[in-house]
A and B are shown apart, each in its own frame.
Chain A
Amino acid sequence: MSELTAPVPDLGGGESRWSEGRARRRRRLTIWAARLLLVLVFIAIWGITSGRIVDDFYISSPGDVADQLWEWTTDGTLTSNLSVTLQELILGFLMGAVGGMVLGVAVGLGRFASEVIEPFVQAAYSVPKIALMPLFIVWFGIGMLPKVLLAAVSVFFIVFFTTFAGVREVDANFVNVLRVMGAKRTAIVRKVVLPSTLTWIFAGLTISVPQAFTGAVAGEILVSNEGIGYLVQTSATNFNTAGVFAGLTVIVVVAAILGGLLKVAEARAMRWKAA
């Protein structure tokens, strides 16, 4: 969600392509500068408020958070915990995404199956996934597995739903084109249903990455002995607000990077849409 602004219509008329490109680049630069400024203003207000207006026990301060981050980075705490969270996230994401896609296509293709299964999926979708965590802990303990599963379940339902909807929404005209050409069902699935569902699947994957992240971190906060969520949780129990904010900062940065990566991947797979 980086481009919230509508393109400005070119009113110049006779401007060359080159200067148009330059204007656009300059514009983008301005926007990034403004974003940076926003962050700096936020940090400044935080720094001024902290200890003067609000007790820094509650909101820490930019300096303390930076110190904490530095300490975690140098003593290896950050790397080891971040790698645990990322592993949970990636494994959970892969399991949920693959499962959701495969089942979404399979169920979406079968009219009967889809009608039978729909209310159950709907119900399961509405269950807050975190409610499953106690069960996962009973089954699999406090290691990585329950967090992986929580992430996987969150991702699964989103990807399943979007894939399922995508398969149901395939343009009948495209299907007819292939049928007249003599295509059998498998060819129709491979050449029309899957590619046209890809847009939907990507939408589902994009939404589900933050969900997977949430699943992993929330699982860690509930009970664990490693991971970013664990860092946030232990910092809080030790009244180390700087640690809490440092953990949150890491979470925000990771989420932003993941979102950016997905955007790039999507732009590549959806090349045909750009024109």
Chain B
Amino acid sequence: MASTSEQGTTATGFAPARQPMIEFNGVTKSFLGGNRKVDAIVDVELTVREGEFLAIVGPSGCGKSTLLNMTAGLMGPTRGEVRYRGHPVAGVNTRVGYVTQRDDLLPWRTVLANVTLPLEIQEVPRRERRQRALDAIELVGLTGFDAHYPAQLSGGMRKRVNLARTLVYDPETLLLDEPFGALDAQLRLLLQQELLDLLQGTQKTVILVTHDLAEAVVLADRVVVFGTKPGRVLAIEEVPMSRPRDLEAERFSPTAGRVQEKLWSYLRSEVSKGAEV
């Protein structure tokens, strides 16, 4: 049932199995910590297929965000290679939309102006820009807050604006770093469902980084378990659930429970090493 193979079917996925979209070939990334070199991730071999929803779970500090940063081309690997659509990522990768974990809304712009930002850059006509931004704001449940400044919003609301800012311009690949963190459980479920509905029928490739095993299982086609010190791939699990998914029903389903248990078994040893999931 569980398979760590790169082949295998994604009949359960949003799109039939296709070419690799993102490839990590023997990727190692080291940082200078003080005067020592610290390996953030070591020898990562991973292929994300086109149209696939891949979730990455693991303890904090296991280099999950580093993986996304390299996919976006904001940093390069120390060793190995990151490929996007078959080409090595060199410089910033503008085919991806990146919702970082960081709070990086432009503080001097209102919610509406933050969400229109990518459309301004793409020189979408003013009128269309506004309409699309308002739609995206509605999608994340923030209608009526468009004139607010980020400083006037809660952490969870800023996360949602961040998500809207990325969804609004419809990039072919989404990199989501804890996009639903800091949200209460109900809202979280609602937004997760919104996201799935939005993706349904599109060919979008998604990498979702999360601490939440349940979230990873109900949303993703495959879940990658990361270990820490150094960050590395421990296991890759298929999620045998069909699409479209009804999260309300799926999150307590036996399948979800089984996969979660399996993921937890990989993580247990890491957690007992003292890391925090």
Contacts from A to B (Cβ < 8 Å):
171, 173-174, 176-183, 187, 191-192, 195-196, 198, 271-275
Contact = CB atoms under 8 A, between A and B. Distances in A.
B108 A180 contact: no
Contacts of A191: 106, 117, 120-121
B231 interface: no
B149 A271 contact: yes
Contact of B108 (A176, A178, A179, A196): A196
B128 interface: no
B121 A272 contact: no
A173 B100 contact: yes
Given A176-B92, A180-B96, A180-B98, 6 more contacts: A173-B102, A177-B104, A181-B122, A191-B120, A272-B107, A272-B109
Contacts of B110: 272
B104 A174 contact: yes
B186 to A, nearest CB: 26
B93 interface: yes
21 contacts: A171-B104, A173-B100, A174-B104, A176-B74, A176-B92, A178-B117, A179-B94, A181-B97, A181-B122, A182-B122, A187-B121, A191-B120, A195-B108, A196-B108, A198-B108, A271-B149, A272-B151, A274-B151, A275-B149, A275-B151, A275-B152
A182 B121 contact: yes
Main SS of the interface on chain B?
loop
B227 interface: no
B62 to A, nearest CB: 21
B121 A181 contact: yes
B108 A173 contact: no
B20 to A, nearest CB: 21
Main SS of the interface on chain A?
helix
B58 interface: no
Nearest to A199: B108
A126 B117 CA distance: 41
The 8 A-B pairs at the shortest CB distance, nearest first, are namely A275-B151, A182-B94, A272-B149, A181-B118, A179-B92, A275-B152, A272-B108, A183-B121
A180 B92 contact: yes
A107 to B, nearest CB: 23
B26 to A, nearest CB: 25
Contacts of B107: 272-273
A11 B94 CA distance: 52
B24 interface: no
Interface in B141-183: 149-152, 169
B72 A180 contact: yes
A69 B92 CA distance: 66
Nearest to A269: B108
Contacts of B151: 272-275
A182 B98 CA distance: 12
Interface string B106-127: 1111100000011011100000
A180 B108 CA distance: 20
A178 B104 contact: no
Nearest to B119: A181
Contacts of B73: 180
B152 to A, nearest CB: 5
A196 B150 CA distance: 14
Contacts of A181: 94, 97, 117-118, 121-122, 169
A166 to B, nearest CB: 13
Contacts of A273: 107, 151
Contacts of A196: 108
Most buried by B among A173, A180, A273: A180
B106 A195 contact: yes
Contacts of B150: 272
B102 A174 contact: no
Nearest to A179: B92
Given A275-B151, A275-B152, A180 B109 contact: no
A173 B104 contact: yes
A181 B114 CA distance: 12
A217 to B, nearest CB: 35
Contacts of B122: 181-182
Contact of A180 (B93, B102, B106, B152): B93
Nearest to A176: B74
Nearest to B75: A176
